[in-house]
Structure 1
Amino acid sequence: MKPSQFAKGFQARPDSTSSEKRTALDRLNAIDGLVQNPLQNANIAAFKSPAAAASLPNDAEHVDAANETIEYRTWRAEHGYRPGQIIELPLKAIKPSPFNPRYFYVKSSIAELAVNLAKQGQQQAIHVIPDYDNPGSYFVSDGGRRVRALKEANKETVKALVVDLPIGIQSYKLGYDLNVQRDSQTVFDNAVVWRRFLDEKHFQSQKELAEHLGLDESTIAVALSIAKLPETVMQEMVARADRFGSNMAYQVGRYHAARGTESTLRLINKILSDDLSTRQVADIVKGRATAQESAKPAGRQRYAQRLDIKLGGVSVGDLKSYGDDRLELKLRGLSREKRDEILRQIEQMLSDPS
């Protein structure tokens, strides 16, 4: 793979073998194991603090040190950092990796996490990789949701582990494997990112991409067909990824090719409201059944105004107005007491004849 095929800030390295990839994953897991110790978790070190670094056990310093890259070893020496040490970094220094396996982040999920972080604080450190070409900045290796939620909660710093991981396509493979283990990787993330990999010539063909990821070529082909959908359509399915796996999304993609975006959005609503199976959707696509579409798109009217609702400076939902007579209120992450109080006030307002 040519160096020009990698995004700025990364350097091309030979493809890692399966054993090398396993070693990198084991190194990451070993670091996680170190920071699970309660005594070490209490050691949240200030950045560039050799004294704080020295308080960590010597064993941490030797975590797979023989396999460290030169760049990482040099960076550690300059900053007095030891593997497994948790430090606080400015959120403004954190940036997404161009090889992030995740593309879609559900806003409601981020808002819920933001409320939780505002109440309980950050319990788990994110993993970051130094951008060696731009000192002082870091790529997120694992923890993109937490970074977004901390920003939503108006926080300024993030607890982080600085890790030594392969870069470029290799870092994608590692992140992809970790997400698959946690069931947080969706076919829609794959669709967008794999399409970009091919468009940017990181891989010359579907077959090469499939071989590199250790997947069947048919899996790649299905994802690439889903990538033809507009993001607005994919977003609707990402919000309910439990209902839209690759087979269901593939059928929705076929329907979109024949009927267009508005009809497809109505079909997605029907899949959710009527709990349609993949076979039933396939029958609709083939014309053996009807989606029973109404003349008016269900739930797709554009709102006239939107008010962001915050509690204690943290966004918990919004209030939208439609036309002359419709309001839609959505709130998440409320305590039971606050929820019941809001319900009583709404009931009182609606029952008041004035």
Structure 2
Amino acid sequence: MARKNVLSGLISEAGEKFTAVNSPQTAPAPERSGGYKGVGALGAVTRSIDALAAKADAAKEIEAKLTAGEVVIELDPDMIEDSFISDRLVQLDSKFEELVEAIRLRGQDSPILVRPHPAHPGKYQIAFGHRRARAAKTLGRPVRAVVKKLDDRDHVIAQGQENSARADLSFIERAMFAGRLEERTFDRETIMAALSADKTTVSKMLSVINRIPKTVVDAIGPALAVGRDRWHDLATRFDAAENAVRAEQFIATQDFRDAVPDDRFDLLSRFLAGRGTIKATVPSAQPVSEWLGDNGAAKAEIKAGGKKFTIALKAKNGPAFGAYITKNLDRLYQAFQDETKSETGD
């Protein structure tokens, strides 16, 4: 198949080639022992857990092959930049916090893969391991990394194959990665190799991304539980031009915004299928009042609506004044509470 031996041309700094991730010599991952899987709900849960574990093993195997025989060094996080193509919709979430805590407790178990930055000498660009690098930076620690000389094609293949093997990357995130590769004029063979996917799967990914407006995809989010077929069904709804406008109105509703990504997908899907209505109205513009100080040298726009109260400062010393307010919020809030209590007699 086209994706075999896609990394066979990658050469280490020592000049030695390493085995391609999908080469015929690569032995299949050993089957996990588990005995009788069972049937029904229990069997489905067991098989699902095994599938996730297998994906985690596959990701580790890919990393091991890409970093085999290479020297692991420590790099300053400030010297590392993200890949030129993003592969995630959400970078910071609860799983990221768990990763930070894990690295805090036991250190960075596996190195990331970087290449010398093609445009900024002395810096590096991440092929895979973005969240590990971000976690290390959060903790103020150096990043354990392997450095390889990769051209753009090999860079995105290494990035895509490692990420595709992970269990926490959703279909729509993989589809958006495919779309970004296409936008940068990578050929279909490279996209297939990067995603470890056949031509039909890649075509469906690109069909979904090219039919659903980007603002809608971004608003829904990763939706980890939603697979290819359901995304494809949603994409067909946008063949009707008016649904793009209807979707934009719906994603602005409070019900939609308050939901988690999987539920957002369901809400929008039902709405476009005619089985839901807009229950919450699109928020209207909040009334704006102004404050002028120091003969107009300082200005503040004040918006009040519901439980939100926003002050936007505009002045030469606006940032400094804002920092002063932030620094004294505890004192101001305490003074507000004391004054409120005295007025109410509590």
TM-score by length of 1: 0.51
Q: Does 1:137 align with 2:123?
A: yes
User: For 2:113 and 2:261, how far apart are their aligned partners in 1?
Assistant: 39
Greater RCO, 1 or 2 (C-alpha within 8 Å, sep 6+): 1
User: For 1:26 and 1:195, how far apart are their aligned partners in 2?
Assistant: 22
RMSD: 4.6
The aligned residue for residue 199 of structure 1 is: 183
Tell me the secondary structure at the aligned position of residue 21 of structure 2: helix
* Matched-pair contact (CA < 8 Å) for 1:129–1:141: yes
The aligned residue for residue 166 of structure 2 is: 182
* Matched-pair contact (CA < 8 Å) for 1:270–1:291: no
Gap change, CA 1:119 and 1:89, over 3 Å in 2: same
User: For 1:257 and 1:121, how far apart are their aligned partners in 2?
Assistant: 47
Q: Map Cα deviations across residues 47-105 of structure 1 (whole Å, 9 max, x no partner).
A: xxxxxxxxxxxxxxxx99xxx9xxxxxxxxxxxxx9333211111221122245x1433
The 5 Å alignment of 1:39-50 reads none
State the Cα distance separating 1:179 from its structure 2 match. 1.5
Where do 5+ consecutive residues of structure 1 fail to align? Answer: 1-15, 31-62, 69-81, 303-320, 328-348
User: For 1:163 and 1:274, how far apart are their aligned partners in 2?
Assistant: 38
User: For 2:285 and 2:119, how far apart are their aligned partners in 1?
Assistant: 47
Match of 2:146 among 155, 158, 161: 161
User: For 2:181 and 2:81, how far apart are their aligned partners in 1?
Assistant: 20
Residue 25 of structure 1 aligns with an amino acid whose one-letter code is V
User: For 1:224 and 1:103, how far apart are their aligned partners in 2?
Assistant: 17
Q: How many residues align structurally?
A: 237
The aligned residue for residue 53 of structure 1 is: none
State the Cα distance separating 1:140 from its structure 2 match. 1.0
* Matched-pair contact (CA < 8 Å) for 2:204–2:232: no
Q: Does 1:234 align with 2:217?
A: yes
State the Cα distance separating 1:269 from its structure 2 match. 5.2
Gap change, CA 1:94 and 1:106, over 3 Å in 2: closer
User: For 1:323 and 1:277, how far apart are their aligned partners in 2?
Assistant: 28
User: For 2:262 and 2:78, how far apart are their aligned partners in 1?
Assistant: 44
User: For 2:112 and 2:158, how far apart are their aligned partners in 1?
Assistant: 15
Residue 182 of structure 1 aligns with an amino acid whose one-letter code is R
* Matched-pair contact (CA < 8 Å) for 2:103–2:136: yes
Tell me the secondary structure at the aligned position of residue 19 of structure 1: coil
Tell me the secondary structure at the aligned position of residue 145 of structure 2: strand
Tell me the secondary structure at the aligned position of residue 20 of structure 2: helix
The 5 Å alignment of 1:87-166 reads 87-99=73-85, 102-109=87-94, 110-131=96-117, 134-153=120-139, 155-163=140-148, 166=150
TM-score by length of 2: 0.52
The aligned residue for residue 156 of structure 2 is: 172
State the Cα distance separating 1:268 from its structure 2 match. 4.2
State the Cα distance separating 1:281 from its structure 2 match. 5.8
Q: Map Cα deviations across residues 93-151 of structure 1 (whole Å, 9 max, x no partner).
A: 21122245x14333224344334434543333212223367543222122101112223
State the Cα distance separating 1:234 from its structure 2 match. 3.2
Q: Does 1:25 align with 2:21?
A: yes
Residue 217 of structure 2 aligns with an amino acid whose one-letter code is M
* Matched-pair contact (CA < 8 Å) for 1:122–1:159: yes
Between 240-249 and 90-99, report the one with greater CA deviation.
240-249
Q: Map Cα deviations across residues 142-167 of structure 1 (whole Å, 9 max, x no partner).
A: 210111222333x1521112246x53
State the Cα distance separating 1:259 from its structure 2 match. 0.5
User: For 1:129 and 1:326, how far apart are their aligned partners in 2?
Assistant: 45
The aligned residue for residue 220 of structure 1 is: 206
User: For 2:97 and 2:166, how far apart are their aligned partners in 1?
Assistant: 20
Gap change, CA 1:157 and 1:322, over 3 Å in 2: farther
* Matched-pair contact (CA < 8 Å) for 2:114–2:147: yes
Gap change, CA 1:163 and 1:83, over 3 Å in 2: farther
Residue 147 of structure 1 aligns with an amino acid whose one-letter code is A
Q: Percent identity?
A: 19
User: For 1:273 and 1:91, how far apart are their aligned partners in 2?
Assistant: 31
User: For 1:263 and 1:250, how far apart are their aligned partners in 2?
Assistant: 19
